[in-house]
Amino acid sequence: MSFLAFRNLGVAFGSYVAVEGVDLSVREGEFVSLVGPTGCGKSTLLNVAAGLLSPTQGQVLLEGKPLEGLNPVAGYLFQQDAILPWKTALDNVALPLVFRGMGWREARERARVWLEKVGLGRFPRHFPHQLSGGMRKRVGLAQVLIANPRLLLMDEPFSALDVQTRQLMENELLRLWQEDRKTVLFVTHDLEEAIALADRVVVLSAGPRSRPIGEFPIPLPRPRDVAEIRLTPEFLRLHREIWDLLRGEVMRAHAGA
């Protein structure tokens, strides 16, 4: 049984059909990257998986049962920072536990552990404006993971970072993921990032009526260093193979823009 599954899924916004006929399964503990042209519905699928958006046809299954309302086992890391500017790094990380009824003292104790895990143990009292972009992403990652979600939804979380910081964050994500192998659905426009991180890359067609048109297992060994793995012959082979399919969809999307 799949942990998460889309079955004949469709989502329309008025007369515009964003995705249609989506059949996709994700196994528990699997890291799946979604790639496709701009506007192909990648974020739409994440929002449906989170329970933030209801499909207009088909359904989402969570461990074989239809998802109703918000997904109770999902954590969501957005492209933009979702941390509160008036809270310290420590309190931002503690907030999800407080929202679940835990007292501030215990929540802060657990938050300190997570700040250490993401390399920010020396910055608990810093406010977001005092942190770099990469550091704010680490706070956001700790904020999501402290609630121990079984499913991690990530919508281009590192796209705004410079190349060096982005690679550091990708390796940080893989290090944390390696500890307990949460199920991950990761959206990115960067094919290299998708391959470097994932167990499987799913290519979506250009919209409207986007759907998966290719799935590629990524048999690269783990643990991985994302900078080093990009230089291997197997990585380059996978990149060529996936880009051969993705390139046509990107060109089709630009032609229709």
In the chain, which residue ranges form alpha helices assigned H by DSSP? 42-50, 89-99, 104-117, 133-145, 163-180, 191-197, 226-229, 233-256
The region, left, alpha or beta by phi > 0 then psi within -120 to 50, assigned to residue 14 is left
CATH 3.40.50.11140 fits 74-182+220-233, yes or no: no
Q: Is the pLDDT of residue 219 over 60?
A: yes
| Among the listed residues 94, 39, 3, the one whose alpha carbon sits nearest the alpha carbon of residue 207 | 39
What is the bridge-based pairing of β-strands 16-26 and 31-35?
Answer: unpaired
CA distance 10 to 54: 9
- Lowest model confidence (mean pLDDT) among 60-74, 122-136, 208-222, 243-257: 243-257
CA distance 1 to 125: 44
pLDDT tens-digit map of 100-150:
999 999 999 999 999 999 999 999 999 999 999 889 999 999 999 999 999
CA distance 152 to 156: 13
Q: Is the pLDDT of residue 256 over 80?
A: no
pLDDT tens-digit map of 18-29:
999 999 999 999
- Per residue, the 3-state secondary structure of 169-192, as one string, reads HHHHHHHHHHHHCCEEEEECCCHH
Residue 212: phi, psi to the nearest 5? -65, 135
- Lowest model confidence (mean pLDDT) among 34-43, 103-112, 184-193: 34-43
The pTM of the full predicted model, rounded to 2 decimals, is 0.94
pLDDT of res. 257: 57
Domain boundaries, the chain: 74-182+220-233
Q: Which pair of tokens denotes residue 110? A: 């657990």
Mean pLDDT, all residues of the chain: 93
Asked if 151 and 182 touch (Cβ cutoff 8 Å), the reply is yes
Percent of residues, the chain, with pLDDT higher than 90:
86
pLDDT of res. 207: 86
Q: Is the pLDDT of residue 221 over 90?
A: yes
pLDDT of res. 143: 94
pLDDT tens-digit map of 58-96:
999 999 999 999 999 999 998 888 899 999 999 999 999
pLDDT band at 252 (very low <50, low <70, confident <90, very high): confident
What is the bridge-based pairing of β-strands 16-26 and 4-13?
Answer: antiparallel
* Average pLDDT value for residue range 219-227: 94
Q: Determine how many CB atoms are found less than 10 A away from the CB of residue 101.
A: 7
Q: Which pair of tokens denotes residue 26? A: 């994700």
pLDDT of res. 230: 94
